[in-house]
Amino acid sequence: MLRKVLVALDDVDHINQFEALAVKLIYDVNLLSNNKAICLFCRYAFGRDIPAQGYEQLCRQVVRYAAGLLLTIRVLGSFICGKNELEWIDALECLKPIPLNETLKKLELSYLALEEDYKEFFSKCWRKDDAIKALESCRFYARNGLRVLQQKSLITIYKNYDYDHLGMRDHLEEMGRNIVRRSHPDKPHKHSRLWKFDEIEDTLANDLGSTKATKYIQVHRKKFSLHIFIKGLRKMKELRFLSVPGNCSTALEFRIVGPDFPKALQYLHWDFYPFRSLPTTYQANNLVALEMANNMLGPILDLKLIIKQT
């Protein structure tokens, strides 16, 4: 007598493990809808299927954070259970810089199973084509690496204005950042990546970037002190990736010649670059990709770069 069997496989990293079971039919598990996610969350948080009165909006915030992932919803429901409204608000704020340990440990299994090169890909990205260009400039096999991350559900690829974009759920992004901070939580200048502006500014202002740790800086703030930025940047000996948003300059800080970038720099993205030229002392031997939309630069000579100018 034939019987239908549902087989759930976990932690399968290699195709031969899967083929050994002779499984031919695969059922893709979809994320929970908002309604189902709220229902599941409420069972753990309130012991019933609907939110308690006055907690409807807070429930929606938690479910939005969990992004339909069953494990995260269950952990968050248990974490929130028994707390009053003010404690809920505090708990939600805590989730942003400090991911829940139980969820984090389980999510990290996918990360730890990655080969070392793929772990370098694990960062919040932008348009897929731009991400590929940036990663390939740092000598990674970007297309294959992004496919691996997508297969392990560490990133998503979605359409926006006819372009493919890379996305990452909030708790996965926090997991990646927590991994970066873990070794030296109170010494950001020893982190391989810097993205919090106060830590970037502190590292550059106090000449802490002379260590070989920091390889990646992504600035999100549009207004900052160019003087501090330029002063500290030249000492970032091992910096390979630098991304700066547009319109960061002020009239008082305008200069003709730009900062002396580190020789190790491979990818430079600086929209609305406020200087009229790159420094003559800058040796771009390792620079592979240069993206400076709407810049003030004149013609760039003797640099074999992938240039994106508008």
Tell me, yes or no, whether 267 lies in a domain.
Answer: yes
Section 140-156 average pLDDT: 72
Beta-carbon contacts of residue 46 (< 8 Å; ≥ 6 apart): 52, 55, 81
Angstrom distance (rounded) from CA 228 to CA 205: 5
Looking at the fold, whether 227 and 302 belong to one and the same domain comes out as yes
Percent of the chain past pLDDT 90, that is, above it, reads 5
| pLDDT exceeds cutoff 90 at 113 | no
* Among the ranges given (183-187, 201-205, 225-229, 272-276), the one the predictor scored with the smallest mean pLDDT: 225-229
Looking at the fold, whether 63 and 145 belong to one and the same domain comes out as no
User: Which of 196, 233, 197, 240 minimizes the C-alpha distance to 216?
Assistant: 240
| pLDDT exceeds cutoff 60 at 266 | yes
Percent of the chain past pLDDT 70, that is, above it, reads 62
Residue type, 180: V
Higher pLDDT, 7 or 101: 7
pLDDT of residue 49: 92
CATH of the domain at 159: 1.10.10
pLDDT averaged over the chain? 73
Looking at the fold, whether 228 and 303 belong to one and the same domain comes out as yes
User: Which of 286, 302, 305 minimizes the C-alpha distance to 139?
Assistant: 286
Give tens-digit pLDDT for 2-25: 677 776 666 665 656 666 665 555
Higher pLDDT, 250 or 150: 150
* Among the ranges given (63-72, 105-114, 274-283, 297-306), the one the predictor scored with the smallest mean pLDDT: 297-306
Show which of 43, 64, 95 is a domain's final residue: 95
pLDDT of residue 200: 84
How many domains are contained in the chain?
3
Looking at the fold, whether 187 and 167 belong to one and the same domain comes out as no
**187, HSE (Cβ side, Cα atoms, 13 Å):** 8
Tokens of 208: 């802490």
Looking at the fold, whether 252 and 212 belong to one and the same domain comes out as yes
Tokens of 281: 């002392």
Beta-carbon contacts of residue 266 (< 8 Å; ≥ 6 apart): 137, 138, 139, 240, 241, 286, 287, 288, 289
With 0-12 / 13-18 / 19 or more C-beta atoms within 10 angstroms meaning exposed / middle / buried, residue 72 is buried
Looking at the fold, whether 282 and 304 belong to one and the same domain comes out as yes
3-state secondary structure of 307: strand
* Among the ranges given (64-73, 209-218, 235-244), the one the predictor scored with the smallest mean pLDDT: 209-218
Cβ contact 282:261 at 8 Å: yes
Tokens of 67: 């992004």
Residue 216 — very low, low, confident or very high, per pLDDT cuts 50/70/90? confident
Higher pLDDT, 280 or 17: 280
Section 280-289 average pLDDT: 78
**Angle at CA 31, nearest 5°, toward 28 and 35?**
140
Tell me, yes or no, whether 178 lies in a domain.
Answer: no
Tell me, yes or no, whether 122 lies in a domain.
Answer: yes
Q: How far is CA 117 from CA 22, 133, 148, 269, 272, in A?
A: 31, 16, 11, 22, 32
Cβ contact 118:149 at 8 Å: yes
Range 62-66 contact pairs with CB under 8 angstroms and sequence separation of 24 or more: 62/92, 63/34, 63/37, 63/38, 65/92, 65/95, 65/170, 65/171, 66/37, 66/41, 66/171
What is the domain extent for residue 135?
112-171
Helix 128-137 vs helix 142-151: angle between axes, to the nearest 10 degrees?
Answer: 120
Higher pLDDT, 252 or 95: 95
Tell me, yes or no, whether 236 lies in a domain.
Answer: yes
User: Which of 138, 149, 130 minimizes the C-alpha distance to 293?
Assistant: 130
Looking at the fold, whether 251 and 295 belong to one and the same domain comes out as yes
Other CB atoms within a 10 A radius of the CB of residue 267 amount to 22
pLDDT of residue 43: 92
Tokens of 156: 């998503």
3-state secondary structure of 181: helix
Looking at the fold, whether 300 and 187 belong to one and the same domain comes out as yes
Looking at the fold, whether 266 and 295 belong to one and the same domain comes out as yes
Looking at the fold, whether 165 and 191 belong to one and the same domain comes out as no
Give tens-digit pLDDT for 36-89: 999 999 998 999 999 998 899 989 988 887 777 777 788 788 878 888 888 888
> Highest-confidence range of 26-40, 48-62, 226-240, 285-299, by mean pLDDT?
48-62
Looking at the fold, whether 193 and 163 belong to one and the same domain comes out as no
Looking at the fold, whether 74 and 40 belong to one and the same domain comes out as yes
Section 214-231 average pLDDT: 75
Give tens-digit pLDDT for 154-211: 777 777 777 777 777 766 777 777 777 777 878 888 888 888 888 888 888 877 665 6
